[in-house]
Amino acid sequence: MHESFLQQTIELAKKNVQTGSGGPFGAIICHNQQIISACSNRVTVDNDPTAHAEILAIREACKQLNTFQLADCVLYCSCEPCPMCLGAVYWARLKQVFFACNRYDAAQAGFDDSFIYDEIATIAEKRKITMQQVALKESLSPFIAWQEQENKMPY
């Protein structure tokens, strides 16, 4: 069963290249073994660097199920999720992830997944993109407001 859903993500990925709609990646989200969303990469056609197949599938599944968490859902992807998509998997609280290729296959095809994993493991000061904390007097005030807010919706 897992293999059948994975096979479908590969078909999505391949078709996406053939139709010129974006990168060679597909993703499917299932709930009770039913497909809730099935998406392909749309970075270049949508001018959206976050429009990876997995991100789009998570957003679409949330819309379909009217929720911001997918605790009982399984993500299938044609390739190992990049750090952005892996982060999204955690925020969506998915149950399980299956993937066909891995980050090294993606790197061989010219994609940055493996590079970004390496960057995340590097201390901020030594990364290729400069990242710097500048603490201000009021830095923590949003968190204080959040903790004091009574009718908040945690996520």
Q: How far apart are CA 5 and CA 85, in angstroms?
A: 18
Strands 96-101 and 73-79: parallel
Nearer to a second copy, 35 or 105 (CB): 105
Of the candidates 30, 21, 89, which has an alpha carbon nearest to the alpha carbon of residue 54?
89
Please check whether residue 28 is in contact with residue 35, taking contact to mean a CB–CB distance below 8 angstroms: yes
**Residues annotated as part of the active site:** 54
Q: At closest approach, how far in Å is the CB of 115 from a second copy?
A: 8
Compare residues 32 and 121 and give the one whose CB is closer to a second copy: 121
Tokens of 68: 């911001």
The tokens for 56 are: 């789009």
- Residue 32 beta carbon to a second copy: minimum distance, rounded to whole angstroms: 17
Which residues fall within 8 angstroms of residue 99, CB to CB, at 6 or more apart? 6, 76, 77, 78, 79, 80, 81
- Write down the least CB distance from residue 34 to a second copy, Å: 19
